Every structure is written in structure tokens, then in C-alpha cells.
Amino acid sequence: MLKARPVIGFYSEGDAGTVWKSRIEQDLPQFQFELLKDVEDKRTVRYALVWNPPLGFLEGFVNLEAIFVLGAGVDSLLKDPDLPHVPIVRLSDAGMAQQMAHYVIYGVLRFQRRFEAYQQLQDARRWAPIEDIEAIEQFPVGVMGLGAIGSIVARQLAAIGFPVLGWSAGPKVIDNIRTFDGETGLSAFLSESRVVVNLLPLTDKTEGLINKKFFSRMSAESFLINIGRGQHICEVDVLEALEEGLIAGAMLDVFEMEPLPSKSPLWNHPNVIITPHVSGLTVPQAALDQIIKNIKRIENGDAPDSAVDRIKGY
């Protein structure tokens, strides 16, 4: 009787895993691919590829060698008290950085060139060129989080001429980027940035960071772009900051609850742009390049690249 091949299991709500299955079984023929919810014997699963599984979902997979997260964030996974004690490997980019840089560039240019005003003029059928547009060289953009994705976003903003500031928990040095770090550097960073872009990882220290105190340190003419996590931001404080004139506007891609409830006042606020968590979508083939490479490393006795530090949370 032939021995069953070990399993690489997959879970992403609403995704049948067709693309993932084809590539896995082509490049790693010693394994078979199964949806984790359909696995009959959890002991056969060697690797798990997951995105936002329910709490406790991975309990009982006793022979796991590693868990691969199909995105850059691992915060929801680390909150699971029953998570197996095996390496967690995140995607270092997988095509998301370029998408996120383009998203941010669009948002920054929209704010700098005042395209929202032109939308209002169009709605009113008025032809009224705006002449007091601020020069790009006088419109500094601050990027919070200077990791693999944040550093790319910062460099691309600088490449098109924006003065770019960067903030991170610890010191970082990036060419052509003025960097700040720690709590002592945060106030200066916020006060000098006309657009603040959040790309921080979600940790105990960054959860709820973007709140009323945070907005009070920003300029009244400044804007927020949040493409980090919804839990970084207090949505009630965003609305209060807008109503009180602490900031001029916000572009939000992630929210405390997703989908954003239809009753949320953010939907109808004239100075808020909402997108449905699309700033950086996982590109399966690019993600599979990393995953397959790392599975081969583990099978050869080597440590995987981009393993998560469970204490730091990223």
C-alpha cells in the first residue's frame, strides 16, 4: 500500500485555492494540497498556508513544520491562544509594496493637487482653476513604518520629488529620507508632515496609536493615509479631529471592523476617502515563489526567510 503524501493545507475564506494547488503540486510533488477545512486527518498536514483563520482553527495540527501567512500582517494570528508553537513565516512583499506605493502616491497627489476640490467643482458644473496649489517641494510626506514595504513607499515618494520624512520605533537610515524615531521624535515628525502615511505593524505598542493626541500633534492642513491596520486608529477620534479642524482629511483603506458597517459615519464624511482594504493585494504567483523557496529551505534543515518574531509581533 502506498503511503499518503504529507499535506500542504490552505485556508483563505472564499478562496478555493485553485491557483495555489496547481503551483504547489507542480513545484513540490512530494506533497499534496488540500483545503484545511476538508482535511480528515490533521496529523498529515506539514505546512499551513493561511489568511485570517478563525481563532483555534489551527489547533490539533500536531505535525506542522511552519505556518505561512498569505499577507504582510500577522497580528490576528498571534492573538490565537491555541496557535501551534512552530515558525510563522510572513510574506516580505509578494508584489504588495509596489501596489501600496502607487496607492499612497495617488492619495498624496490628490491631496497636494486638491483634486477633491475639482470633484466638487465638477459636481457644481463650475470651471474654476485653482491657482494656489502648493509646490511638491513644499509638501512633505511622512511615512510611519520603515520596514520592507514602508521603505519602498518612502523611496518612491522621494523619487517623484516629495520631501519625505520617516518614523520608526528605532533608528533607521535611508538615503534621501529624514528619519525620526521613538516617542521623542514623533511630535516633530507629525508637525512637519503634510500627509502622514501609516504602514506600521500592529503590536501592543502601536494599537490605538492614531488617536486624539496623535491628531493634536499634526498640522491643521495635514492629511492621514492609513494602510496599516484598522486597529491602529480610533475611528471616533478621526471624526472628531476632522470636525474640530485638527486635520484636513483622511484616506482610509483599513478599519476596526471589516467590511466597514454601512451605518458608519465615515462613509458620508466629505473629507474622508474610503477604499475596501485594497491598497496591497497578495499576488499568488509572487507569494508562491517565496513560500515554495521557504518550504524547500525547511525541508533541507535551514531556517526560513522572513520568520516572525513572536515577541515583537512582526
Burial tier of 167 (Cβ tally within 10 Å: 0-12, 13-18, 19+): buried
**Architecture of the domain made up of 96-274:** 3-Layer(aba) Sandwich (3.40)
What was the pLDDT predicted at 311? 84
- CA gyration radius for the chain? 22
Q: What is the residue whose three cell numbers read 510574506?
A: 91
Lowest mean pLDDT among 1-10, 62-71, 126-135: 1-10
pLDDT tens digits, one per residue of 78-107: 999 999 999 999 998 778 999 999 999 999
Fold identical between 7-94+282-299 and 96-274?
Answer: yes
What's the distance, Cα to Cα, between the start and end of the chain in Å?
44
- How confident is residue 72, by pLDDT bands cut at 50, 70 and 90? confident
- How confident is residue 1, by pLDDT bands cut at 50, 70 and 90? very low
What was the pLDDT predicted at 71? 83
What was the pLDDT predicted at 168? 97
User: Per CATH, is 7-94+282-299 categorized as 1.20.120.160?
Assistant: no
What was the pLDDT predicted at 244? 98
Whether 47 contacts 68, CB under 8 Å: yes
Q: What number of other Cβ atoms are within 10 A of residue 46's Cβ?
A: 20
Q: What is the residue whose three cell numbers read 504582510?
A: 72
pTM to 2 decimals? 0.91
Q: In the chain, what are the domain boundaries? A: 7-94+282-299, 96-274
What was the pLDDT predicted at 95? 82
- At residue 289, does pLDDT exceed 70? yes
What was the pLDDT predicted at 175? 95
Catalytic residue numbers read 229, 277
- How confident is residue 3, by pLDDT bands cut at 50, 70 and 90? low
pLDDT tens digits, one per residue of 129-143: 999 999 999 999 999
Percent of the chain topping pLDDT 90 = 92
- At residue 73, does pLDDT exceed 90? no
pLDDT tens digits, one per residue of 195-253: 999 999 999 999 999 999 999 999 999 999 999 999 999 999 999 999 999 999 999 99
- Structure-block grid coordinates of residue 279: 491598497
Q: Is the dihedral of CA 145, 148, 150, 155 positive or negative?
A: positive
